[in-house]
Each structure stands twice: as C-alpha cells, then as structure tokens.
Amino acid sequence: METIGKIRRRRLVDGDSISAIARDLRLSRNTVKRALRYEGDAYEYHRKRQPVPKLGPFVETLESWLKAEEKRPARERRTAQRLFEGLRLEGYTGAVDAVRRYMRSFERRTHPSATAFIPQSFASGEAYQFDFSHEHVELGGIEQVVKVAHMRLCHSRAFFLVAYPRESQEMVFDAHARAFTFFGGVPRRGIYDNLKPAVDAIFVGKERRYNRRFLVMCNHYLIEPTACTPAAGWEKGQVENQVGNVREWLFTPKLRCADLVELNAHLAARCEELARERAHPEQPERKILDVWNEERTALRLMPAVFDGFAERSSRISATCLVSFERNRYSVECRYVGQVATIRAYADRLVVVCRGELIAEHPRSFDRGRTLYNPWHYVAALERKPGALRNGAPFKDWNLPGSMTRLRERLARHADGDRQFVEILLMVALYGLEAVSEACASALDDEVVSSAHVVNLLHRAAAPPRPAILQVPEALKLAIEPAANCDRYNQLLHVRAAAALIHADLPLETHDANPIDRTTQNSAPARYGERTGGELDGPESKEARSNQLAWSAAAGGDGRPASSILSIPASPGALPDATGSGQLQLPRVGGE
C-alpha cells in the first residue's frame, strides 16, 4: 500500500511521468499503470485458469471418484492422499498438490459456503431447548468425563446445568424434574435433537417415533416434544452456543469437587449468578434474571415430580441377589427364585416383586461390585444362625454401639449366635432404636441374654394399665353389703314353705301324670298361640306367681312334686311335729 501511495502522489500531485516513476521506484511501467487504475485500493493477482498439464488426462477419473465419495459416510471417504495414491496406480506422474487443488475447487462447486439463516423469536413461556455435552472434571481426586444436561428457556435465555455419569433415559427424566423446579414452572414445548432416550425411529421430515416412557413424561408435564432435523444444530442454536460458552465460563479451568452432589450444587449456584450478571442479548438494558422473572408468570405450575425410572427384569438368585449393569444388589431373602422388576433412577435402585418394594440401594456406576443390605438376610439367619460369623453381608456391619457390645458379650457363649439372631429378629417388630435401647438396658443390668432383651421389649411395648376409676359420690353405697353366706340358707325357708303348701292341696291335683282336660282333644297350637287355640300373650301377675310357687314346690329343677320326699330344715326353720329336724311329706299318688 505504501508503494501505491507513492506512485499516485508523484503522478497525480507532482505530475511525474510514468517512465520516471518506474525508473525511480524500480518498477515496470505496467505495474505503475495498474496502481493508477485501482484508485488507491490494493490489487491482487488472481489466476483465471489453473493449468493442469500432468492432471489433465486424469480429471474425468478424479471427478467420478469425488462424486462417488460424496455418497459415502464421512468416516469412509478417502482423503486427498489416498486419491493421489490411486491416481498413481492409473499412471499419474504429477504431485499431490494438484489433486488437493482440484478437490478444493470441486468442494466449492458442489457445496457453496454461503448459507442463509433466519433468526428465531419465541414468546414468553413457549419453549425450551435441551441437549447434552461432555465435560472434563475432577471428582474425588480422579479425572472423569461427566455428561452435563443443558436446558435453556428460549425467551429469557435462563439456563440450568446438571451433571451425570451417563446419558441414559433416567438421567433425562431427572434433569427435566430438576430444571422445571429451578425455573419455577413448565414451558409448553420442548426442542430436542434425536437423542436415543427420546427418539426410537426417525422418519421423513419431522415425523418421529418417540420412546414410550419419554412420551409418558411429556404427557405428565403436558409438554409437546419437537425433534430437530438430523445434523441441523441451528434449529436449536441457543443451547448449541450455550455448550461452548458454558465450557469457557464454568469448566475452564477444570473443576475439582468431592463428588457429583457437590458439583451439581456448584453448577446450580453459578447458573443463578450468571443470570444476575449477564445482560439479555435482545434487551441489553435488562439482565437475564429480570426477563426470567417475567417469564415465570407465563410458565405452567410445576406438577408432582414425574416418577422417572427405567425398568429392567431380573431373576433373584439363590444368594438373594439381582444383577443390573454388571453390579449385584441384595433383596429380601423370602423372594428367592422369583422374577423381580428393577427400577433404575438417576441416584438409586428400587427392586419390586409382585407389587411390593423388596429392596432399595444407592446406585453404583462401577463394575463388578456387590451391594449388600444385611437386614435382607436376617430372616434366613433364623434357620442358619452360624452364618452370622462369616456371612459376607454381615462383615463390617454398622450396628448401634449397644448392640455391638452385646454381640461381643454373647460371642463368649456357645449359643451366642442364636441368641443374637433372636434379638435381630425383634427389629422387624419393634424397630432398631427400641432394640438398641433394650440392649443398653440389658448391659446396664448385667444380664446378657436374648430372653432378657426380648422381655424388656415386650414390657416396653405392653399397653399401659388403665387408671383407677373414680366413682362419683352419688353412686357410692352408703351401707356396703356384708359377705355373709348365711343369707343363702334363708332360701331354704322358701322351699320348706312351698312344700307345706303343696301338702295341703287336694289329692287329685297330685296326679303323677297330670293331663289338661281342656286341651286333650284340641288342635295342635299354631305360631303365636297356646295349646287349645288361646293366643300367646302376656301373662297376668297372678298366673306368674302361681307358676313360681309351683316351680318352688317342684324343687326348682322341673321335677314333679311327688318325687320330693323330704327337705332338710335349716336352723330357724319351722320344726315338724316330731322335732326330728326334717319335714316329713307324704308321697302323692297313693305311693
């Protein structure tokens, strides 16, 4: 540019000739003329036609190869070096540079670099964009690659991040639940790429076959899922750009945390900080947080959290274990041999059999591990108490201190294992805390035995004794009854008097087989009538008293009066004429 300036000033200002300028600046006259024609702009030489003296005879072959390579996947296409080697076999004697230049020209002709894009605009609460990225962090001193789920509100540009060990379906469910809770509501539409946990099959255009469980989640939150065109990242450009920005803002330098819980807490806090600090791209005078607060009013209320799990089936082995992702987890021993359903969540594993929850463990993402819960094997110890000493589930069992001390004391007895198993079985009935307190009491009492511990538990769980009833003064007896058995002897006087009355009756009334003459020839009694057609109604007081007198005379037990020969007289009873102490009654009926 300096040379062009000198040429133009000497010619247009000083009026020097082109020959003088060319001679002084050691340039050709054509170069000086070209500098004067370009009006001060820099000029460059562009070759209009590239000669190919060596490649010329092989251009058609190379062109056909390049067209065939376009139809292959990117990873299967041959490079310029491989094409050059193929041309050498055909007789090409030129250099590889000519092949590379022709490949660049072919790329420009078939794939123009200029592509037009249309800016997008979203209403408040209309949509969000979701994607995953892989980030390098250090957890517990070990460098790892974590999968970070990104969710971004398209209107306010507020975003949320959460890290997982894997990019599986249950992680997608958990990320949605956390993000919607963080945003304070649920948008109406979700924009995704064709990730496997969400899309099972891709058809022509926008038609997709979504995963069944993914659709259940969308129906729960009332979300309309939208899948992007394959390899068209610009359709969700906000979250695509966010991946690169967040990597610079949050993961550079490398994050160092104790575990995933601490990492996710840090990411959530940084998301809020960035929303307060950064300006909205379309409204520079406002912060992202201000627009986010306005968008919350347009979001739907957060419903109950979706029960997001992925199901697998596994048969329970003879050692009470189920397998999931190369790890084994213990279950209740009474379900051995049955098929259980494993529900995998983002952070835990739940095992269900016949509709009952039989195990729950924290999820392990390692391989070859076995996770035991010793309480799953306590019922089996009732039949095999000896397994308490060397059983793998009972190694390093973290029991309460009082139970551990009692177990050590019981180990000195021949049947110590059996006794401690009896104490462990009480946990299912009374709870771990109550059993621990009973063990502590037994140690304080210096009575080391399972029977004493079980007795303490039964006594502690027994219902309290009812309080003493407070009788009102109005219901209290003024004269309490005396406990005198002589009162019962006075009843004998009544029987003696009834016998005397019976002796004075006419003889015909003492027939051994009395027959009611009025009812002898009558019809059988119907329901509600006495024999003879008389209605069965309430009896008069006189009739009732006569019946009682007759019953007393008959001995009160239904026997006829003719069978009563004598009644012993009690002290104070009416004496007989002979003074023998017994009332002599004649037999009735001529006997």
Where residue 417 falls (left for φ over 0; alpha for ψ -120 to 50; beta otherwise) is alpha
Domain ranges of the chain: 2-37, 56-110, 127-296, 310-371, 379-461, 486-514+523-584
Q: What is the pLDDT of residue 505?
A: 55
Looking at domain 127-296, its CATH architecture is: 2-Layer Sandwich (3.30)
Chain center to CA of 74: 43
Taking the CA of residue 397 as centre, how many other CA atoms within 13 Å lie in the half-sphere pointing to its CB?
22
DSSP character string of 498-535:
HHHHHHTS-GGGG-SS---GGGTTSPPP-TTB-TTS-B
Q: Which stretches within 317-426 are classed as H helix? A: 378-381, 387-390, 401-410, 416-425
Q: 287, 300 in Cβ contact below 8 A?
A: no
Q: What are the tokens at 247?
A: 């990597």
Rounded Cα gap, residues 23 and 174, in angstroms: 79
Give CA separation, 245 vs 49, 252, 537, in Å: 43, 10, 103
Of 123-127, 442-446, 548-552, the least confident: 548-552
Mean pLDDT of 355-376: 94
- Please name the residues in contact with 406: beta carbons below 8 A apart, sequence gap of 6 or more: 420, 423, 439, 442, 443, 448, 453
* Residue 505 CB contacts under 8 Å (≥ 6 apart), including other chains: none
- State the Cα angle at 195 between 193 and 201, rounded to 5°: 100
Residue range 577-587: mean pLDDT, rounded:
43
Q: List the beta bridge partners of residue 137.
A: 144
Burial class (CB in 10 A: 0-12, 13-18, 19+), 497: middle
Judged against a pLDDT cut of 50, whether residue 315 lies above it is answered with yes
108-153 pLDDT, tens digit each: 888 876 677 888 899 999 999 999 999 999 999 999 999 999 999 9
Query: According to the model, what pLDDT value does residue 151 have?
Result: 97
pLDDT greater than 60 at residue 549: no
Estimate the share of the chain in helix, then strand, then coil, as percent rounded to the nearest 5: 40, 15, 40
C-alpha 454, offset from chain centre: 35
**Which residue type does 83 have?**
L
**196-238 residue pLDDT tens:** 999 999 988 888 999 999 999 999 999 999 999 888 888 899 9
Is residue 272 within 8 Å of 278, Cβ to Cβ?
no
H/E stretch holding 242 reads helix 237-249
Instruction: Report the C-alpha gap between 127 and 185 in whole angstroms.
Output: 12
- Helical (H) or strand (E) element with 159: strand 159-164
Q: What is the pLDDT of residue 533?
A: 46
Q: What is the mean pLDDT of the chain?
A: 84
DSSP lists the bridge partners of residue 360 as: 350
What is the DSSP annotation of 35-55? HHHTTT-------SS---TTT
